[in-house]
């Protein structure tokens, strides 16, 4: 099973990604986590992306696409992409890559939450890029560049939207019920 998890900053992608990956044995590919660890270790990639990440801007598409393609290349098992794609161009490049490697996305799960809830959640998180101004910037970037992906994947018949506002457990059980019902349908 190959999954793309979409949602604005603070929608709960990281938490839900961890639950689903554990439950279904998927490889968790989080571009945000990857960048944070490269920045912390001051690697050449970390130095290259630090300015973008800390200001709440997106890392250039070509940098991210190359990294994700490299990760997917080495995987035999199913995977879950958390925080990628984030632009239409990334989504198109991902589709091109998957087509050439004979793989596909099975589900795109969108976690929807209001900006009010997000601002409250992120205020308590304390990550380097969670300051007020950066959160606002990241939400703006999401609205302008990432939100259009919902329509893209809806058009491909892959999108399923979930309310991300309830508790973590409630959201995970909604996701799990959906995935299990879909698996049961496709198996019958
Ligand atoms: P996240 O942990 O997913 O919220 O990502 C944190 C930051 O990493 C984002 O605000 C971006 O600066 C950068 N980033 C993560 N994923 C991507 C992506 N797919 N494209 C561009 N930048 C990204």
Domain-by-domain residue ranges, the chain? 2-30+78-183
Site to probe by mutation for ligand 1, drawn from 39, 83, 146 as the one with most ligand atoms within 8 Å of Cβ, is 83
Ligand 1 pocket check: which of 86, 92, 125, 134 to mutate, most ligand atoms within 8 Å of Cβ? 86
Average pLDDT, the chain: 94
Instruction: Determine whether the shortest distance from the Cβ of 86 to ligand 1 is under 6 A.
Output: yes
- Spell out the residues 6+ positions from residue 138 whose beta carbon is closer than 8 angstroms to its own: 8, 9, 56, 129
Beta strand 2-7 with 27-30: parallel, antiparallel or unpaired?
unpaired
- Tell which atom from ligand 1 comes closest to the C-alpha of 60: 21
Averaged pLDDT, 57-81: 95
Nearest residue to 84 (alpha-carbon basis) of 58, 50, 51? 58
Whether the predicted pLDDT of 85 surpasses 80: yes
Q: Which residues pair with 161 in a beta bridge?
A: 110
pTM for the model stands at: 0.95
Distance CA 133, CA 69 (A): 32
pLDDT above 90: percentage of residues in the chain: 84
Instruction: Report whether residue 52 contacts ligand 1, using a CB cutoff of 6 Å.
Output: yes
Atom of ligand 1 nearest to the CA of 86: 19
d(CA 123, CA 51): 21
- In this predicted structure, the answer to whether residue 125 has a pLDDT above a threshold of 80 is no
Banded model confidence at residue 122, pLDDT cuts 50, 70, 90: confident
pLDDT of 121 reads: 86
pLDDT at 74: 87
Residue positions counted in the chain? 188
Q: Is 79 in the pocket of ligand 1 (CB under 6 A)?
A: no
Is residue 146 in contact with ligand 1, taking CB distance under 6 Å?
no
What distance in angstroms lies between residue 31's CA and the mean position of ligand 1's atoms? 6
Give the ligand 1 atom nearest the CA of 35.
8
* CATH number for region 2-30+78-183: 3.40.50.300
| pLDDT at 112 exceeding the cut of 60 | yes
CA of 182 to the centre of ligand 1 (A): 29
pLDDT (0 to 100) of residue 188: 56
């Amino acid at each position: 099973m190959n999954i793309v998890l979409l949602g604005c900053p603070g929608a709960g992608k990281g938490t839900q990604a961890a639950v689903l990956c554990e439950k279904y044995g998927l490889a968790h590919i989080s571009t945000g986590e990857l960048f944070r660890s490269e920045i912390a270790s001051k690697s050449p990639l970390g130095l290259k992306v630090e300015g973008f990440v800390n200001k709440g801007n997106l890392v250039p598409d070509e940098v991210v696409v190359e990294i994700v393609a490299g990760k997917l290349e080495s995987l035999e098992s199913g995977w879950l992409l958390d925080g990628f794609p984030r632009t239409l161009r990334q989504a198109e490049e991902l589709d091109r890559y998957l087509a050439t490697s004979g793989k596909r996305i099975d589900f795109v799960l969108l976690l929807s939450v209001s900006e009010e809830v997000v601002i409250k959640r992120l205020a308590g998180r304390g990550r380097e890029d969670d300051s007020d101004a950066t959160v606002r910037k990241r939400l703006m970037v999401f609205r302008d560049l990432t939100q259009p992906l919902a329509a893209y994947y809806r058009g491909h018949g892959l999108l399923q939207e979930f309310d991300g506002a309830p508790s973590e457990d409630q959201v995970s059980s909604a996701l799990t019920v959906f995935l299990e019902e879909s698996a049961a349908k496709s198996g019958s």
